[in-house]
A and B are shown apart, each in its own frame.
Chain A
Amino acid sequence: MARAAARSHFRRRRHGYLFVAPVLLFLAAVIVVPLGWAFWTSLHRIRGIRVSFVGLANYGQMLADDAFWHSLGVSLAFTGASVALHLGLGLALALLLNELRFARTALRIAFLTPWMVAPAVGATIWLWLLEPQFGVVNWLLQAAHVVSSPVAWLGEPATALASVIVVDVWRGVPFVMLLMLAGLQTIPAEQYEAAAMDGAGAWQRFRFVTWPNLRYLTVVATTLDIINTIRHYDIIGVMTGGGPAGGTEVLPVLLYNLAFRSNRFGEASATGVLLLVLVLAFAVVYVKLAKLDRAGGG
């Protein structure tokens, strides 16, 4: 009986399955197979082309390694600071652009430019801007008497981490700004008019009209931005390679260094799987929020 019902269900939907099949196959080829391969690799000790099965030993080794925990700490610091600044500045710029009555399109394009530049290209430009001897940043700061001698921005762990955060903020703010601007433009003008009639000032309009309307979008943007930033490699890879002395070695950079500098593909894959678990945790939060949104209707 149940089998007959299932058969009838499949027969009714077979065209749907047929249409979806190419996409499913494509996703399997570009996501499921590489992920499965990475997990399989993480269960092996790989030395060049010699491979031996070691089970979960690579995971044990990574979790017992100080370098992993150090990188996790750097990752969290980098992600926390970057996301906070993306959101703060993104929201401020969106509010500014939303209020503007002239040059809005030109400014929107101008603010979006960093997002359009390939991250590796942007990072290379910043690398030269921050160069201690010949860089423009030091030249400007010295001309303005902010610093008395050139600063080796990428030469110390603290300034190097701050520098890569600044570059990531430069690159990441436009995306958040765009999301927030879209959110701002969906707020009905009547709400502001009603608030104005009640005598609300600019701050009160923001607090009681704008913010409640943007709250859900902010949570979604935060979650998406965390997922995007925590797995970020290119800017740090190009600018510092994780140095100096591991000061900017976020998890993706550690993974890259393990795989391609130290030739330890098994340990690198284990790190990749652990990073994936971390990203998935945030993805679950995002999916739950999306469900809540659907249930709440707005």
Chain B
Amino acid sequence: MQVRPFLRMLASIAALGAASAFAQQPIVLQWQTANLTESQYEPIWKKTIAEFEAANPGIRVEPVLVARKDHWTKFVAASQAKKAPCIVSVDLTTAAYNGYLMPLDKYWNAEPASWRHAWSDDMLKASRWKGQLYGLPIWGGTYAEIYNRDLLTKAGLDPANPPKTIDEYMRWSKKLSGADHWATAVLGGRTDTTTRVLLTWIWANGGEAFNADMTEATFAKDPKSLAAIRMYLGMAREGLAAPAPTTTNYLEQTNLYAQGKIATMRNAYWAIAKVVGDNPAMKGKSVVGPIPANVPNAPTLATVTASSISSSCANPDAAWKFIKFDAEKKWAIERARVANWMPLRNDLADDPAIKADPLLEQFVRIGQNARSYPLPHPLWADIAANDIVDAVQKALLAPEKTEAIFRDLDTRLTKKLRDI
């Protein structure tokens, strides 16, 4: 037997085997959002992945489960190492500015116009940075005031007519507070939820936290803004809000509400799902009202969560396929129905499944006058979770220095906003 042809044949077989084994390897897409760890969302994302994988046998989606407080940190660390998950939902402007995301215009423009029309220009504006599209808006959350119907009734207040002005809200708060229960929770914990709620108070009083082009901070400079900050943070000192505000965040706020310790909470529709998850007895016990405001047409805050593709993603085509799948009407309705996340497609407002839920419909109505969040600045993630929270904590600990603390914040932020 000749050795050389035999060896050649052996090598060919080995190469073929290796090639076919390689060809059979599915594309693995990692998917990271802060919400995958939230119990109310779990059944939906599991179903989404299962159906997507069944429809796309060559692609596997691997969820990356990260606690909300570590979400951004892990994304940044992975991005720096150029190993970020392919599909992510992060603070879009900050991530795009830092080069962590891939522009999606190529994929977006290749889609039929009929599909693209499901997203309004306003909605897409929140997903653009320097004219390029970096994410597809998937769901949102409009902030409103959520009340515990039973506690209102017990305090002799009418759940059908929630307060419209801040003064009225303060009067209600006094009636809703006692020795071991409080009207609400002031948020001062170290996440940007603290900043979200603070902004709603500032806007409700006709104030502004930043100038129009976000080159100057006006927390203390704008008297209406400063007055709103004083009113809101003052609730903690006056015994109208739960103790330990500097450690209170979304989790603690919803826990307190679920246990009947606080009667109202300022949050989005998803908080109701979280409360019912914590305490099923709370099902059907919440009523929703607009954010009490001292000026007409005060806007509320609406978060926009978009799905993006990280710049280090090796399979962006497959990632876009998944993003499109996840943005389908079916999943938008499921998310609204089960996880209480508001759909951002404009072709769902009249969907019977949405209309059948009166609370969701109310949130949709309140959200008609909302500013999108995160605010469009590349340093927003840092500013919102650190500088502003730090000032809130300091003011909660030394209320008499509130003005000085927020003046200092204005100075620091203005310098920071211009240093990009």
Determine if A252 is an interface residue (Cβ-Cβ < 8 Å). Answer: no
Set B190, B256, B261: member contacting A243, Cβ < 8 A: B190
Determine if A199 is an interface residue (Cβ-Cβ < 8 Å). Answer: no
Determine if A261 is an interface residue (Cβ-Cβ < 8 Å). Answer: yes
Q: How would residues 29 to 56 of chain A score, 1 for a CB under 8 Å from any chain B CB and 0 otherwise?
A: 0000000000000000001111000000
Once the chains bind, are B80 and A132 in contact (CB under 8 Å)?
Answer: no
Q: Interface size on A (CB < 8 Å)?
A: 24
Determine if B208 is an interface residue (Cβ-Cβ < 8 Å). Answer: no
Determine if A73 is an interface residue (Cβ-Cβ < 8 Å). Answer: no
Set A157, A241, A243, A262: member contacting B382, Cβ < 8 A: A262
Query: A49-B79, A133-B256, A246-B390 are contacts. A154–B100 as well, Cβ < 8 Å?
Result: no
Q: Interface size on B (CB < 8 Å)?
A: 35
Alpha-carbon distance between A246 and B261 when the two chains are bound, in angstroms: 28
Determine if A80 is an interface residue (Cβ-Cβ < 8 Å). Answer: no
Determine if A126 is an interface residue (Cβ-Cβ < 8 Å). Answer: no
Alpha-carbon distance between A262 and B72 when the two chains are bound, in angstroms: 10
Once the chains bind, are B256 and A245 in contact (CB under 8 Å)?
Answer: no
Query: A155-B243, A155-B245, A263-B76 are contacts. A244–B98 as well, Cβ < 8 Å?
Result: no
Once the chains bind, are B382 and A152 in contact (CB under 8 Å)?
Answer: no
Determine if B394 is an interface residue (Cβ-Cβ < 8 Å). Answer: yes
Q: Which residue of A lies closest to B95 (CB)?
A: A48
Q: How would residues 50 to 76 of chain B score, 1 for a CB under 8 Å from any chain A CB and 0 otherwise?
A: 000000000000000000010011001
Determine if B417 is an interface residue (Cβ-Cβ < 8 Å). Answer: no
Determine if A183 is an interface residue (Cβ-Cβ < 8 Å). Answer: no
Residues of B within 8 A of A241 (CB): 69, 190
Q: How would residues 152 to 173 of chain A score, 1 for a CB under 8 Å from any chain B CB and 0 otherwise?
A: 1011110000000000000000
For window 249-264 of A, CB contacts with B under 8 Å fall at 257, 260-263
Determine if A265 is an interface residue (Cβ-Cβ < 8 Å). Answer: yes
Q: How would residues 72 to 88 of chain A score, 1 for a CB under 8 Å from any chain B CB and 0 otherwise?
A: 00000000000000000
Determine if B246 is an interface residue (Cβ-Cβ < 8 Å). Answer: yes
Q: Which residue of B lies closest to A132 (CB)?
A: B244
Set A50, A260, A262: member contacting B99, Cβ < 8 A: A50
Alpha-carbon distance between A62 and B188 when the two chains are bound, in angstroms: 26
Once the chains bind, are B98 and A152 in contact (CB under 8 Å)?
Answer: no
Once the chains bind, are B397 and A157 in contact (CB under 8 Å)?
Answer: yes
Which A positions have Cβ atoms within 8 angstroms of B? Answer: 47-50, 132-133, 149-150, 152, 154-157, 241, 243-246, 257, 260-263, 265
Top 9 A-B residue pairs of the complex, sorted by shortest distance between their CB atoms: A48-B98, A152-B244, A244-B246, A155-B244, A49-B99, A260-B73, A245-B393, A132-B244, A245-B394
Q: A132-B243, A243-B393, A263-B381 are in contact. List 9 more A-B contacts (CB 8 A).
A: A48-B79, A49-B99, A50-B98, A149-B243, A243-B247, A245-B397, A246-B390, A257-B386, A260-B72
